[in-house]
Structure 1
Amino acid sequence: MAIVDTLAWVTPLLMSVLGVILNLLSMGAILSFKTLRKTKNIFISHLSFCDFVASICIVITYIKYLTQLDFSTSFVQHTFGVALVMSLLSTLAIAVERFIIFYLDPFGNRKIITPFRTTLAFLVSWACVNVMFYLMGYLIRESLYRISKVILSSSIWIAIIVTAAFYGIIYQKITSASKGIGASDTFLQRRYKVHQKIIVTFSLVVGTTGLCWLPLTVTEFLKAFPQVHDTPWFIALDRIFFSILCLNQVLNPIIVWSRMTEFRDKLKVCRRGEREGDRGENNEQTNLTSVSANVPVNIDSRDNSIFTMSP
């Protein structure tokens, strides 16, 4: 049990430090490189920001307990919970954005997804989730505590299932549309393959998110029963499951950077130097496809002049 306890304490700290570094690099890359400053990358940047905030909250909490500093961590714990939920909602937001692009605004004429609307939606979401956690933490009576835990666990899985369903529908639409394209139309074939890869990438993010959140939902559900709170097996289980959750903050940036070509290319640019990267941005723009590229899934529109990459 001592080894389990040690690992359960050390693992979240190590994962959180690594999460701070990786997600900070992701946000920095999007802000630093012009070709990455696109509407779709607002979603990726926000996902990185949420994971960064969650990771830094864990680090701050560990600093308090390791150094015995006298300060309250209630705000840190509140922020940590909000950041975790917002990270989960970010994957849902990416799925909704993909759904809108392919089904409601394939040519971008209606401009449903814009940087301003996206940023505003995230700000409103942060405010709503903050209010929700405040009500759950400070205003809900003890008699409603069990119900709140059950609702929280159920909401997490509903969000994951809905997100996975969105990705499944979109991937099926892209696959069926690509089958109707002639072999000679290499432009559309290449574009559809890129978007299939993008959907698979974020499906992996949703999948790993679900796997990392599943154990936590079990303990959150069990917290609705006070009789198990102080039992040794529950405390050990809670720590282990929390360590698994912390892996998600590291896996998200790793998946994005390892599978998305435009991000991987920036690693090569960093090795050669920023000046060379700036010279190659125009060339990269013709080869890379944005996650938010306005690609019509109606193959009859292949000759439409609007069939271009979004800025």
Structure 2
Amino acid sequence: MVNETYFTVWHIVYATVMIPTVFGNGLILYSVAKFPRLRSNIHILIANLAFSDLIVGAVLIPTDMLSDIFGWKSKKYVCLACLGFFVLSLGSSCFSLLLVSVERYIVICFPFRARTLLTKPKMVFMISFGWVLVAVNSTLPFYGVNTFTNSSAECVRNVVWPEAYQLYCDWILICGLIVTFTFYMIVVRIALKKARMRNSIGGKTEYNVHTKAQTDLHHVITMVIVLGTFVICWLPYVILSFIVTFWDTPTFQFVKRCTLIPGLFNSAINWLIYGYRNNELRKAFRTILKCKFCNKDSNRPTSNAAAIYTSGNSVF
């Protein structure tokens, strides 16, 4: 009875996370694909991060739910696949945030050379390199780096992964978060300094929201919010995973499982942050949803969408 209640609660949590995750991140990807104005480097990186979140809602959660329902986790490669998708989505999200910090640093520090330093081919290469690196790390257990046996009672990382691989995954994530956070703090400091210098030259006592410096600062603050949300949601799980590696008890396992909930919800709320902070994405969301649910004329939304993007500058 306890097990049935436990799995029922988890499936409710999964369903609650899965629906907004698939809807919101799918909306971001559709917006970037539909509107050419959303093909800038920052929007491409947002779409890349949204794809990482989409994996959680469209692949990881359904696979885990079906494995619980049908008992597939007792099979070796299904168990390894569930854990592998988890590493893939979490690692790719962390790497995507790092790429955003690098992009913001170049745009703010080298505004006149940013387009040559960050060309589309270079962006594609960096994104592809990140996905290949994370994919290799997440599939190592398939190549023998596992301790899975037919007698394994649970499909959890401390049972089917060697201790060295567990520590490797934890330290890669922790170091990645530290580097990314440090990079963001440097970028915020530079953006603030440039905004103040521009206002000082203009003889103004308040920030001018129409200046490029202020827009750049707005960009950075948005991504700092995204990064902060990511750290708040995932750091407890990473810390508990690190503790369980050395002190594995049923209590720690249960607490670690509970800390996974805010981590999963992180994938369901990022698109809300973008929609609130990014003016162009917000317009795209409204246009798409209006086209789907409110406008009876299927030809009119295209012209309306085009009209929206023919005026005004981007305010991220």
TM-score in same-fold range (> 0.5): yes
Going from structure 1 to structure 2, the CA distance change for 1:145 and 1:124 (only over 3 Å counts) comes to closer
Q: In 2 relative to 1, CA 109–158 (structure 1 residues): closer, same or farther, beyond 3 Å?
A: closer
1: CA distance between counterparts of 2:128 and 2:201?
41
Other-structure match for 1:244: 262
The residue number in structure 1 matching 2:104 is: 98
2:224 counterpart residue number: 203
Tell me which of 73, 78, 88 is aligned to 2:84. Answer: 78
Q: Tell me by how many angstroms 1:59 deviates.
A: 1.8
Matches for 1:85-164 after TM superposition, within 5 Å: 85-104=91-110, 106-108=111-113, 111-135=116-140, 138-140=143-145, 142=162, 144-145=164-165, 147-148=167-168, 150-152=170-172, 154-164=174-184
Greater CA deviation, 125-134 or 277-286?
277-286
Residue 275 in structure 1 maps to residue 277 in structure 2:
no
- Tell me how far apart the structure 1 counterparts of residues 234 and 93 of structure 2 sit (CA, whole Å): 11
Structure 1, unpaired ranges of 5+: 292-311
| 1:165 aligned residue | 185
> For residue 168 of structure 1, what is the amino acid of its counterpart?
V
Asked whether 1:258 is paired with 2:276, we answer: yes
Deviations 1:97-137 (A, max 9, x none): 01011213x12476111222111111111111222333467
Q: TM-score, normalised by structure 2?
A: 0.78
CA shift for structure 1 position 4: 7.4
Cα distance in 2 for partners of 1:6, 1:234 equals 21
Identity over aligned pairs, percent: 20
Contact 1:153 1:220 in 2 (8 A): no
- The equivalences for 1:299-310 within 5 A come to none
Q: How does 1:225-236 map to 2 (within 5 A)?
A: 225=246, 227-228=247-248, 231-236=249-254
Q: Provide structure 2 residue ranges, at least 5 long, that are not aligned to the other structure.
A: 147-161
Kindly provide the amino acid, as one letter, of the partner of residue 40 in structure 1: I
SS in 1 for 2:138: helix
In the aligned structure 1, how far is the partner of 2:173 from the partner of 2:208? Answer: 45
Distance in 2 (alpha carbons) for counterparts of 1:238 and 1:137: 24
- The partner residue of 2:50 within 40, 48, 51 is 48
- Structure scoring higher RCO (CA < 8 A, sep ≥ 6) equals 1
Deviation digits for residues 231-276 of structure 1, max 9, x if unmatched? 3312221221111100110121110011111111123323265735
Distance 2:167 2:28 in 1: 37
CA distance in 1, matches of 2:225, 2:174: 21
The superposition leaves residues 156-192 of structure 1 with CA deviations (integer Å, 9 ceiling, x where unpaired) of: 44244234324423432343233224268x9984433
8 Å CA contact retained: 2:11, 2:65: no
209-218 vs 282-291, greater mean Cα deviation: 282-291
Decide whether the 8 Å contact of 2:80 with 2:141 is kept in 1: no
Q: CA deviation at 1:23?
A: 0.6
Distance in 2 separating the partners of 1:247 and 1:261: 23
Change in Cα spacing, 1:164 to 1:13, as seen in structure 2 (3 Å) is: farther
| 1:12 and 2:14 are equivalent in the alignment | yes
1:170/1:7 CA distance change after superposition, 3 Å: farther
Q: Distance in 1 between matches of 2:15 and 2:186?
A: 33
TM-score, structure 1 as length reference: 0.79
Structure 2 CA distance for partners of 1:61 and 1:78, relative to 1, 3 Å: same
Q: Secondary structure at the match of 2:245?
A: coil
Paired with 2:6 and 2:72, the residues of 1 have a C-alpha distance of 26
Whole-angstrom distance in 1 between the partners of 2:32 and 2:109: 27
Partner of 1:295: none
1:24 equivalent in structure 2 = 26
Matched, 1:180 2:200: yes
**Letter of the aligned partner of 1:122 in structure 2?**
I
